Structure 1
């Protein structure tokens, strides 16, 4: 938007804005805040700097929702005050917002201050931003000191060397603050700060702060240093990471607080990537095993999700000798959440181990997980079997796991049945038509009568995909007769499923198949006593029409069969049937 677009608001009186922002209704004030950019354009950059910004600076006593919107708007306000040259004028109201009690408002204010600091010149940083940062850092109330922790990284590189020294000392004071909330904020931002600082300074000044925070008496502080470790390791060389960080990492792995160990487990692949393969191979394998065997289920859950990612950084022999024994124990873990997490990731080991080791070591574990009593475990392992198939091939997969998969096709949990349906087209493509017809064909038809609608719907999509895989001739001889036979079933749900299946499969078959097999059944259901079936028949015609148009031999059927049927439905007493019949007729032209 520009000034030309702000029609009659070019003389927008500041008094009107005052009234809007002082209205009793919170929503009214909120809308006014969200219109600040429009109002600023109307006022012009001079009045925005001289009147609007000072007014906003004095309007901090408001509902948190309004303050949050204001903090967000001000982060995008540089152009409205005259560009980068005047960007510093926005700092004052944001400084006030960064000290309020509500955390979300402070976080948004810090985000906006950071955004503005990135466009300020060195002079503006030194004259306006650094004093603001010092005031927040020395604030009496912890909220301002907490916000200050998030502002050091943004202005550091632009500042003069002397100021940079002051900023590091100021940040050091915040890491030693008496209030745990401030130390938590310092720990949250230490990694970001480290990435703005030259490596030699990180080693001298930042790593001692990291080590101190990593030993803080509050576990809520210590757990936040895990991401700092990753960030600092990315600044250092692999050898320097080993020298300066490894001892602290070992302490974290055996920390007395499970929450710290959980954070280490959750980030273990990132840590391995940051420190490099040599350190990982020599020093982290046993640490990872320690986490996989942790007493707390939450830690084992996080660690089990890291198994394939971590395995990429160690050789095959270490996986087989150290990690796989832990994985075997996790397959029978007492916590269903651990087993579910493992089931999601364990297939990722197959490409790393290769065909022979996967067949020998992993397949028995997959089979065990497929028989787990907890449905999410079975669901997770099914959804990832294609990764295993790529490594060992369908023959071995079918021999070892197909019986369990067939059993799951009748699982009492509908989500498990749904996962099997989603996997069937891939499995069918790999197995071939003969094997499929013999072992899985009947299941595909039985799903059409499932009591759960989502299963019936997925089953119709599955039939279309199978038709695309095995061809129209196969569908015509194998599944279409069975689908059409359901059209005469006394239970209306079966007749409804027939219509759904026909509608879904139609684009995958030929006009001749529709003419000879499908259209007679659809025509017959035009007179069905159930209105829901009749309007779905109308919807089905809409899908059949484009397919019938593809062949000169079937085009005449549009006038002789389809349109008369739709005209009949258009006279139906049910409003929905009429609507869909009209819609299909319009589509038919």
Structure 2
């Protein structure tokens, strides 16, 4: 017997949610909003939500979707006045074993909490937080830590006092996972309490967590320190924040020191420039000289931001000696981080100091054996260029670039080719034509195939950067001239360049400049060149077909050439020509 029409949606949902197939149950959960609309608010409250509450025992992936869906369910159960009905199933989800499900449930509870009125909060939300806080399993207590901040501001004074004390219990929990969660959410909670209670309650809780025996707890308190400092005056920061910060900088765990280094600029801004200049410079120097490469890497990333706070003199006298040491650091990751950020010091130091102190370091990093270091220093040259000018920068950099471009190791030559378009766009077309154009053409004759191939791709990227007119005047004539060279490798390179540049040039350029060379090379005596001609024609056809004025050239010139190549004695030539003939 079929179910009654009005009962059908819930019956279907129940059937699918109880199905053995996880994918069916997952699809049913994803359609909850549709089902709720069909049922209407009353039945959604009376039937759907209780049913879902009873169906918590399921696969984690199903529960994860359910936890997310319920966070956006207020409108389907009749609005904010009934929002508390959603708390029960989410409370159960917040206590399950799977971390992702719990986190999603907490996220949904934090979405719902602002919609609750004061009565709903006191009657339903706060008891939920209390139950999770004293739960037997650490999973519920872990979830509880993420629920305090959203409900605190709406609660009564007495309830707020209770919440502060309860959070203190979580900070002292026997289970490290709970203390980690408490440390994770303490910063958000600190933002909600008054300054009086921040000092009397939150800072003691922070201090307890910052001295935890587990470094996995201590490292999470770094972001709490930032949040607390942002709420205090400079004088209060000096009293409550400075000493814990110094202790963290010297923590026995490198992971805690890493977190401090990674957040150093945020911390410095939070405590204010006076404290930063007077008290935090020596601590920063200590981080730059840390025994662990990971810490030095994080600290290197903070150099320009910290430099803005302390000024030119402090940089020259205290920070720059550390920077010089980092340029030759044993860790390539430290050097790469420094190369990425050292350019940020140029606007602070100004033209004269940048030229005297930073340029030698740039040149040293530009010669680094690790490719990421070289790439990072080149990618940030625009900042330096704006300070000292293109003329001075080019004079300093060119010898180093030429040296790398002619390095005896082909992998070094290959690496510098990849940076040329980026460098060219930053230094400008005039500088490129004068200083680097010849270098790019010289790579086309390199003895190593990979270098020649990269050089051809490099020309396409330069064409995209500087425009087709520039390519037509500067590089295309030189490339096509190699098409008649006695050495077949040069003729091969011409074909590679044509194929690589085809997407970046216009149909008119192909018609006027490139097609005559391609037509000549169709009859080349070297089979490798002939089959690469077929591949090149395959790349040219789509470009020519884009324009009505050049479309006829495909039928009149390129297809006959491919037909000729398809009858070649060489198998590869025939294969690639037939492949090109299939292009429409």
Change (3 A) 1:452 1:520: closer
Q: Say whether 1:157 aligns with 2:149.
A: no
Aligned to 1:191: 187
Match among 202, 221, 227 for residue 217 of structure 2: 221
Offset of residue 330 of structure 1: 0.9
Structure 1 segment 217-256 matched on structure 2, within 5 A: 217-256=213-252
Offset of residue 268 of structure 1: 0.3
8 A Cα contact 2:129 2:144, kept in partner: yes
> Alignment partner of 1:150: what SS?
coil
8 A Cα contact 1:370 1:404, kept in partner: yes
Instruction: Determine the C-alpha separation between the residues in 2 that align with 1:376 and 1:338.
Output: 11
Offset of residue 432 of structure 1: 5.6
> Alignment partner of 1:397: what SS?
helix
Aligned to 2:498: 499
Structure 1 segment 262-341 matched on structure 2, within 5 A: 262-341=258-337
Instruction: Determine the C-alpha separation between the residues in 2 that align with 1:483 and 1:82.
Output: 77
8 A Cα contact 2:483 2:521, kept in partner: no
8 A Cα contact 2:459 2:501, kept in partner: no
1:233-282 per-residue CA deviation (whole Å, 9 max, x = no partner) reads 11122232222211111111111211111100010011111112111111
Aligned to 2:556: 564
Match among 330, 349, 352 for residue 353 of structure 1: 349
Aligned to 1:427: 427
8 A Cα contact 1:48 1:80, kept in partner: yes
8 A Cα contact 2:22 2:62, kept in partner: yes
Match among 387, 397, 402 for residue 401 of structure 1: 397
8 A Cα contact 1:460 1:505, kept in partner: yes
Instruction: Determine the C-alpha separation between the residues in 2 that align with 1:455 and 1:475.
Output: 12
User: Where does the alignment leave 5 or more consecutive residues of structure 1 unmatched?
Assistant: 1-7, 550-554, 585-589
Offset of residue 418 of structure 1: 1.1
Aligned to 2:66: 70
Change (3 A) 1:261 1:346: same
Match among 133, 139, 146 for residue 142 of structure 2: 146
> Alignment partner of 2:330: what SS?
coil
> Alignment partner of 2:305: what SS?
helix
8 A Cα contact 1:566 1:581, kept in partner: no
- TM-score if structure 2 supplies the norm length? 0.88
Aligned to 1:103: 99
Change (3 A) 1:434 1:416: closer
Instruction: Determine the C-alpha separation between the residues in 2 that align with 1:301 and 1:148.
Output: 35
RMSD (CA atoms): 3.0
User: Where does the alignment leave 5 or more consecutive residues of structure 2 unmatched?
Assistant: 567-573
1:460-515 per-residue CA deviation (whole Å, 9 max, x = no partner) reads 222453455857433465x34346558994699635413324414423x9x4x555
Aligned to 1:30: 26
> Alignment partner of 1:313: what SS?
helix
Change (3 A) 1:439 1:415: closer
> Alignment partner of 1:12: what SS?
helix
Instruction: Determine the C-alpha separation between the residues in 2 that align with 1:491 and 1:192.
Output: 65
Between 1:163-172 and 1:25-34, the stretch displaced more is 25-34
Between 1:237-246 and 1:323-332, the stretch displaced more is 237-246
Offset of residue 228 of structure 1: 0.4
8 A Cα contact 1:153 1:196, kept in partner: yes
> Alignment partner of 1:41: what SS?
helix
1:384-425 per-residue CA deviation (whole Å, 9 max, x = no partner) reads 222222222222222222122123335515455312343234
Instruction: Determine the C-alpha separation between the residues in 2 that align with 1:279 and 1:53.
Output: 54
Instruction: Determine the C-alpha separation between the residues in 2 that align with 1:173 and 1:329.
Output: 46
Aligned to 1:552: none
> Alignment partner of 1:365: what SS?
helix
1:172-218 per-residue CA deviation (whole Å, 9 max, x = no partner) reads 11111111111111111010011112222212221121122111222
Between 1:47-56 and 1:536-545, the stretch displaced more is 536-545
Offset of residue 441 of structure 1: 4.6
Instruction: Determine the C-alpha separation between the residues in 2 that align with 1:61 and 1:360.
Output: 68
1:61-104 per-residue CA deviation (whole Å, 9 max, x = no partner) reads 11111111111111111111111111111111110111111111
Change (3 A) 1:177 1:533: same
> Alignment partner of 1:62: what SS?
coil
Match among 206, 212, 218 for residue 210 of structure 1: 206
Aligned to 1:474: 474
8 A Cα contact 2:64 2:101, kept in partner: yes
Offset of residue 334 of structure 1: 1.6
Instruction: Determine the C-alpha separation between the residues in 2 that align with 1:183 and 1:15.
Output: 44
Change (3 A) 1:476 1:526: closer
Instruction: Determine the C-alpha separation between the residues in 1 that align with 2:125 and 2:292.
Output: 46
8 A Cα contact 1:408 1:417, kept in partner: no
8 A Cα contact 1:499 1:537, kept in partner: no
> Alignment partner of 1:236: what SS?
coil
Between 1:423-432 and 1:15-24, the stretch displaced more is 423-432
1:362-404 per-residue CA deviation (whole Å, 9 max, x = no partner) reads 1111111122222222222222222222222222222222122
Offset of residue 301 of structure 1: 1.1
8 A Cα contact 2:499 2:535, kept in partner: no
- TM-score if structure 1 supplies the norm length? 0.88
Instruction: Determine the C-alpha separation between the residues in 1 that align with 2:489 and 2:36.
Output: 70
Offset of residue 18 of structure 1: 1.9
